[in-house]
Structure 1
Amino acid sequence: MKLLRFLISRKGIISVFLYSLTAAFSFLSFAPLNLPFFVWLAPFGLFIIEKQNRGEWRKLIYHGFGFAILFYLVSFHWVYHMTTVFGGFDWYLAVPIFVGSAILLNFKFPVYLLVFSFLAKRVGRFFPLIASFSILFAEFFTPQVFPWYFGNVVAEHHILAQNAEYTSAYGLSAFLFFVSYYLFSLRKPKTFLRLFTHFLSKHKRFRKQFVFGGIGLGLVIILFFGNGYYLFHKWSNVKPVAERDVLVIQPNAPLEFRDGRNPAEEIRNLMTRIDTMAERELTGNPVDLVVLPESGVPFFTTHDTEVTRYSRIYWHQFESLMAILSLRHGTNVFYNELDADLVPTALPGRISRRDVRMYNSSVLMNPNGERRNSYQKVFLLIFGEYMPFEWMYALSGQTGQFAPGTNLDLIPYYESRKNDSSQSKALHFEDTMTMGPASVREYYSKDKVEEKQIGSFLPLICYEVIISEFVRKFQGDPDFIVNVTNDKWYGNSVETYQHHTLGRLRAIEFRKWIVRSTNSGTSVFTDHLGRNIDNDFTPIETTAVIRKKVQVIPGEMTFYRLYGNLLSYLFMGIVGLVFFFYAKRNS
């Protein structure tokens, strides 16, 4: 009742308006709308709420949760869709899960308000610096499952985005709040006129504040724009050492069959569709690499082992088709599958359901149709690939029980066949009904080529691409990054664009191209400057192909790959010490 009375009061209505202001302006600035002007105004709602409730800690916490829920409702409304479709929860469970996740995963809002208010009361000046420090602190030290930062929104500006090579999204968040608070301070014409009058007055203190404030703002803007401009032109002039022709096949595979469709018929249609799309694009026009998305062929594996046969996930026709694609066109094929092994404690010679571990895995098949290196997803998606508590699995039969992978190796790929197949009759999916994988390889045995590695790429599955601290753990110098994902769980929503935009900064941090392959859209190629090539996105919830020549940028360990978030930690440490001694001196 107290909450309801507050919401219908004048103060409550104004508060909800301010929550909505921050949420709406952030949403307008973000993909797919990309209206960057609004990002500089987005923090204003936070600034006003903090100023109105400075020092009232409980109110600031409540307001922080208000920001969290409204922000999720406007910008991440598709989380509800994920919970009902991906997780399989009924609406009466999905709603509290949505609200709970909004609060838990957006703790940055109450933390930001509390830190800002504390420093504002103790320090009492340098407010743009306080705003910058507070957002950096809040984004670093609050829980993240689907990590997003205000800096990702700033990165829609291509010049400013280049600073991610040094600071990732964190530094761009700090820059945004520093500049935004200056704009907030000048939001009223009377305020600007008063400051200008003080500057013209004879009071040296007012002149000094005006001059030093303007110089500080100017230096920060010049630093970020100047460095961004320098990096943009530096990397624009780098010559690639090679180009790889890459084809992405977007098959729009089904997710589940709760609507009564015939699973066997749907999977047969899917396999035929993949086969046809590949043949249409590759006959007489070969590529170096074909990439199929996460869950491009769901529910099955091509890994023929005792464990996968026991688990009934091995399907010989799946392996046969992948071998046909690679052998028929003499190319590398990178595809997603299930995989399984036994837990270390399993008894030798016995397999039980309890001993089996399942993985979300991607594997490369070389131009000779031979299985090579695979990568098992390390960061699993909550409510989709695992539940935080064992008892929760009973609530959703749709949720998988996957184990995380441990291998962070790059995936080697090999020189493709230069000539057409010597076989007069090409094999297709219908042939897999009578020909197993060994027979397929034997049929194309005359087309076998010497296996010669020509490079490697960095594999990422689904939302792993948005976790900068994780991606930099991969060792070695990849030619490019491949991100396979299945955004079909989120329907025809903005999620797929937001997912890509959050991950796009990895291209700048690594200075490598990104190949994004999705099951149902949007697939896209992004260069080492973070630009989407030709702004060419595949449509959502449809079959499509997209093909580009991916440039291999010469290997160079960028600052972020070497040192991670060092600059952000230094900023927080130095500014924190300055605030501490200043507050202590004036206490």
Structure 2
Amino acid sequence: MKLVRFLISREGFISVFCYTITAVFSFLSFAPLSLPFFVWVAPFGLFIIEKRNRGDWKKLIYHGFGFSILFYFVSFHWVYHMTTVFGGFDWYLAVPIFIGSAILLNFKFPVYLLLFSFLAKRVGRFFPVIASVSILFAEFFTPQVFPWYFGNVVAENQILAQNAEYTSAYGLSAFLFFVSYYLFYLRKPRSFLRLFTSFLSKHKGIQKKIVFAGLGIIFVSALFFANGYYLFQKWSQVKPIAEREVLIVQPNAPLEFRDGRNPAEEIRNLMTRIDTMTEIALKQNPVDLVVLPESGIPFFTTHDTEVTRYSRIYWHQFESLMAILSLRHGTNVFYNELDADVVPTAMPGRISRRDVRMYNSSVLMNPNGERRNSYQKVFLLIFGEYMPFEWMYALSGQTGQFAPGTSLALIPYYEPRKNSTSQTKDLHWEDTMVMGPGGVREYYSKDKVEEKTLGSFLPLICYEVIISEYVRKFQGDPDFIVNVTNDKWYGNSVESYQHHTLGRLRAIEFRKWIVRSTNSGTSVFTDHLGRNIDNDFTPIETTAVIRKKVQVIPGEMTFYRLYGNLLSYLYMGIVGIVFLFYAKRNS
């Protein structure tokens, strides 16, 4: 009842209005709408609530939860769809999970309000700096839904986005709140008039303060724009050392069969579809690499071991088709699969179900149809690939029980076959009914080429691409980044565009192209400046192919790859020390 009375009161109306300002304006600024003007006023809702409740810690916490829930509902409404479809939860379980995750995974809002209010009371001035360091702290040290930072929205501006090479999204968040608070102060004509008359005042002390504040805003803004422009020009002029022709096949594979479809028939149709799409795309124009998405062939593996056979995930026809695709066109094929091994503590010579570990894995097959390096997904998706608590698996039969991978190695790929196949009749999916992987390789044995490494790429599965701190752990100099994902769990929503945009900054941090291959859209190529090539996105929930020439940018360890979030830590540390001495001196 207290909540209802609050919501219908004047205070409640103002509060919900503030929540809405931040939630809606942030959403409008972000993909796919991408209206960046709104981002500069999106924090106003937070500023108003903090100012009205400064020092009232309990209210600030409640308001933080209000921001969390409404922000989550507007920007991440597709999480409910994921919980019901991906996790398999009924609605009466999905709703509390949605609300609970909204609070826990957006805890940055109450933390931001508390820290801002604390510093505002202790310091009493330098509010743009307080706003920027508070959001930086909140984004660093609280869990996120899919590490989503306000700086990702700022990066919709192509020039400002280039600063991510030094600061990642964190620094752009700090810049946004620094500028936004100054705009917030000037939101009323009366405030602007007061500022103007103070500047004209004969009181030199007031004049100095106004001039100092104005020059600070101008300097910081000029610094970010100038550095962004410099980096944009610098990297625009870098000549690639090579180009690789890459084909993305988007098969729109089914997720599950709870609607009554025949699984065997659907899988046969999927295999035929992939076979046909690839053949048509490559009949006259070969490529260096074919990329299939996450869950492009769900449920199976090409890794023939005692464990995978015991687990009934190895399927020889799957391996045969992948060999056909690579041998028929003499190219590398990168595809997603299941994989399995046993825990080290398992009894020797015996395999039991509880000893088997399953992995979300992606593998490269070379132009000779031979299985080579694989990468197992490290960051697993909660409520889809694992549950936070063992007892929760009983609530959803749809959720997988995957183990995280450990390797952070790049994936080598090899020189493609330069000549067309010597066979007068190519193999297709239907031939796998009677011909195993060994037979396929024997059929194309005359076309076998010497295995020569052409380069390597950095493999990422699903939302790993949006975790900047994780991606920089990979060692070596990749030619480009490959992100395979399956966004079909989220339906025809904005999630796919948001997912891509959150990961787009990795191209700037690494100064490498990104090949994004999705099961059902949106697949796209992004260059080392964070630009989507030709703005060519594949449609959502449909089959499609897309091919581009991916430029290999000369290897250079960028500042972010070398030092990570050093600048953000320095900024928080220096400001914290200055504020500590200032507060003590004026206490």
TM-score tier, shorter chain, comes to: over 0.9
Instruction: Map 1:143-182; keep pairs closer than 5 Å.
Output: 143-182=143-182
Q: Distance in 2 between matches of 1:458 and 1:270?
A: 27
Q: Aligned-pair distance for 1:10? A: 1.1
Instruction: Map 1:241-320; keep pairs closer than 5 Å.
Output: 241-320=241-320
Q: Distance in 1 between matches of 2:99 and 2:346?
A: 40
Q: Does 1:49 align with 2:49?
A: yes
Q: Does 1:334 align with 2:334?
A: yes
Q: Distance in 2 between matches of 1:459 and 1:525?
A: 15
Q: Does 1:501 align with 2:508?
A: no
**TM-score, with length taken from structure 2:** 1.00
Q: Distance in 2 between matches of 1:185 and 1:579?
A: 21
Q: Does 1:87 align with 2:72?
A: no
Q: Does 1:40 align with 2:36?
A: no
SS of equivalent residue, structure 1 residue 504: helix
Does the 8 A contact of 2:243 with 2:552 survive in 1? yes
Q: Aligned-pair distance for 1:417? A: 0.5
Q: Distance in 2 between matches of 1:292 and 1:199?
A: 62
Instruction: Map 1:528-543; keep pairs closer than 5 Å.
Output: 528-543=528-543
Q: Aligned-pair distance for 1:4? A: 1.1
Does the 8 A contact of 1:252 with 1:519 survive in 2? yes
CA deviation vs aligned residue, 1:304-358 (integer Å, no higher than 9, x gap): 0000000000000000000000000000000000000000001111000000000
Instruction: Map 1:142-541; keep pairs closer than 5 Å.
Output: 142-541=142-541
Q: Distance in 1 between matches of 2:204 and 2:99?
A: 52
Q: Distance in 1 between matches of 2:354 and 2:259?
A: 30
Partner amino acid, structure 2, of 1:437: P
Match of 1:112 in 2: 112
Q: Distance in 1 between matches of 2:122 and 2:10?
A: 30
Q: Distance in 2 between matches of 1:198 and 1:179?
A: 21
SS of equivalent residue, structure 1 residue 460: strand
Q: Distance in 2 between matches of 1:198 and 1:403?
A: 63
Partner amino acid, structure 2, of 1:548: K
Q: Aligned-pair distance for 1:257? A: 0.2
CA deviation vs aligned residue, 1:25-75 (integer Å, no higher than 9, x gap): 000000000000000000000000000000000000000000000000000
Partner amino acid, structure 2, of 1:529: L
Match of 1:563 in 2: 563
Q: Distance in 2 between matches of 1:145 and 1:65?
A: 14
Identity among equivalent positions (%) equals 88
Q: Aligned-pair distance for 1:144? A: 2.7
SS of equivalent residue, structure 2 residue 460: strand
Does the 8 A contact of 2:321 with 2:428 survive in 1? yes
SS of equivalent residue, structure 1 residue 245: strand
CA deviation vs aligned residue, 1:380-437 (integer Å, no higher than 9, x gap): 0000000000000000000000000000000000000011000000000000000000
In structure 1, stretches of 5+ residues that fail to align are none
Q: Aligned-pair distance for 1:13? A: 1.1
Does the 8 A contact of 1:284 with 1:420 survive in 2? no
CA deviation vs aligned residue, 1:514-566 (integer Å, no higher than 9, x gap): 00000000000000000000000000000000000000000000000000000
Does the 8 A contact of 1:360 with 1:402 survive in 2? yes
Q: Distance in 2 between matches of 1:145 and 1:437?
A: 42
CA deviation vs aligned residue, 1:198-251 (integer Å, no higher than 9, x gap): 111111111011100111001100110000000000000000000000000000
Q: Distance in 2 between matches of 1:347 and 1:98?
A: 41
Partner amino acid, structure 1, of 2:577: L
Does the 8 A contact of 1:521 with 1:542 survive in 2? yes
SS of equivalent residue, structure 2 residue 113: helix
Q: Distance in 2 between matches of 1:237 and 1:333?
A: 31
SS of equivalent residue, structure 2 residue 253: coil
CA deviation vs aligned residue, 1:118-147 (integer Å, no higher than 9, x gap): 000000000000000100000001123511
Q: Distance in 1 between matches of 2:141 and 2:351?
A: 43
Match of 1:3 in 2: 3
Q: Distance in 1 between matches of 2:198 and 2:285?
A: 71
Match of 1:576 in 2: 576
Alignment length (residue pairs): 587
Does the 8 A contact of 1:64 with 1:107 survive in 2? yes
Q: Distance in 2 between matches of 1:465 and 1:319?
A: 27
CA deviation vs aligned residue, 1:241-265 (integer Å, no higher than 9, x gap): 0000000000000000000000000
Partner amino acid, structure 2, of 1:508: I
In structure 2, stretches of 5+ residues that fail to align are none
CA deviation vs aligned residue, 1:271-291 (integer Å, no higher than 9, x gap): 000000000000121000000
Q: Distance in 2 between matches of 1:199 and 1:453?
A: 66
Q: Distance in 1 between matches of 2:567 and 2:191?
A: 34
Q: Distance in 2 between matches of 1:373 and 1:201?
A: 71
Q: Distance in 1 between matches of 2:57 and 2:538?
A: 47
Q: Distance in 1 between matches of 2:108 and 2:194?
A: 34
CA deviation vs aligned residue, 1:361-385 (integer Å, no higher than 9, x gap): 0000000000000000000000000
CA deviation vs aligned residue, 1:68-107 (integer Å, no higher than 9, x gap): 0000000000000000000000000000000000000000
Q: Distance in 2 between matches of 1:194 and 1:299?
A: 67
Q: Distance in 1 between matches of 2:323 and 2:212?
A: 67
Q: Distance in 2 between matches of 1:13 and 1:62?
A: 15
Q: Distance in 1 between matches of 2:190 and 2:206?
A: 16
Does the 8 A contact of 2:521 with 2:539 survive in 1? yes
Does the 8 A contact of 2:106 with 2:145 survive in 1? no
Does the 8 A contact of 1:69 with 1:99 survive in 2? yes
Q: Distance in 2 between matches of 1:437 and 1:201?
A: 85
Match of 2:61 in 1: 61
Partner amino acid, structure 1, of 2:302: T
SS of equivalent residue, structure 2 residue 546: strand
Q: Distance in 2 between matches of 1:263 and 1:521?
A: 22
Q: Distance in 2 between matches of 1:547 and 1:109?
A: 41
Does the 8 A contact of 1:244 with 1:551 survive in 2? yes
Does the 8 A contact of 2:459 with 2:483 survive in 1? yes
Q: Distance in 2 between matches of 1:198 and 1:282?
A: 70
Q: Distance in 1 between matches of 2:82 and 2:71?
A: 17
Q: Distance in 1 between matches of 2:578 and 2:362?
A: 49
SS of equivalent residue, structure 2 residue 32: coil
Partner amino acid, structure 1, of 2:528: H
